[in-house]
Amino acid sequence: MLSGEKEQAFWIQVEAFEPRYMPLPELGLPGPDEVHVWYLDLGKLALTLSQAFSKDRMIAPVKLNPGQLRFARRFYLRLLLGAYLGLPGKDVILQRSVRGKPALDRSVHSSALQFSMAKSDDRLLVGITREVPVGVDLEPVTRSTRKGLRLAERYFSAAEAKALQQLPESQQNTAFLRAWACKEAVVKAYGEGIANQLCRFTVEVRPELPPAMLDFDGAGYSDWSLALLRPDEDYMAAIAMHQSRLRAHCFQLLAAV
């Protein structure tokens, strides 16, 4: 639970994440207002694979180094995208924007598939839509932001900073993390034009209310949808889609049993 408080019904809880096992079959594309969210514990996947190739079932938990994590993220991202494209993961060609955001190489793939990924330590979150821009963010709930108010005053909108200041001190860390995750997801969905301008839009900060876009450059906020997730007890996540409705279908990728 977040900061010992009862979470609201609008959070998508870990129980909503449907287990899916490798090898993945070919997957159908999300519906027009749907996002498929995939959560991966890369350390657990690596441990399961290590056990599968060893007679010793008491292998110590696997701690992936930075290079192994980078490889694992690329491998599983291509694996997931390939399942939607009807291709082996190795045949999925990605390109990167100037800021490093990965995307399908449209000179190779004609699919309208859109995706966003977020990482934290050995956890990976991937959001996939048919054609609507999507953004996801992933944050550890134990992350302490002692300077949250100061950061909000510097980078958030004035309305967000004020709303954060008015909360009890016991709620401010959770509220800041929630707002930060939502804003990061919006930036990823919107594109590169607001990457360094978090003050241009306002999201709901108060923890007792559902996530929502409250203002975007003074207008046009109603065509955004936000959602909050708890993929496990140690992490929280946010999804943003640039359309007025969002339906999330959540999965956790697991090794073959």
| Domains of the chain with bracketed CATH | 11-254 (3.90.470.20)
* Higher local confidence (pLDDT), 53 or 18: 18
- What phi and psi, each to the nearest 5 degrees, are found at residue 209? -110, 150
Q: What's the average model confidence in pLDDT over 165-179?
A: 93
Of the given ranges (28-37, 192-201, 231-240, 245-254), which has the lowest mean pLDDT? Answer: 192-201
Tell me the C-alpha distance between 43 and 51, whole Å: 12
Tell me the C-alpha distance between 127 and 36, whole Å: 6
Environment class of 212 (CB within 10 Å of its CB; exposed 0-12, middle 13-18, buried 19+): middle
Tell me the C-alpha distance between 142 and 129, whole Å: 29
Helix (H) or strand (E) holding 172: helix 169-190
Helices 42-52 and 66-85, interaxial angle, to 10°?
A: 90
Handedness of CA 78, 80, 84, 86 (dihedral sign): positive
Tokens of 228: 């909050």
pTM over 0.85: yes
* Higher local confidence (pLDDT), 144 or 70: 70
Say what the pLDDT of residue 97 is: 74
Percent of the chain with pLDDT over 90: 68
Per-residue pLDDT band for 219 (boundaries 50, 70, 90) equals: confident
Q: What is the pLDDT of residues 78-135, one digit of tens each?
A: 999 999 999 999 999 999 876 678 899 999 999 989 999 999 999 999 999 999 999 9
Average pLDDT, the chain: 89
The radius of gyration of the chain from alpha carbons, rounded to an integer in Å, stands at 19
Q: Is the pLDDT of residue 58 over 60?
A: no
Q: What's the average model confidence in pLDDT over 227-235?
A: 96
Q: Is the pLDDT of residue 54 over 70?
A: no
CA nearest neighbour of 177 among 153, 195, 151, 159: 151
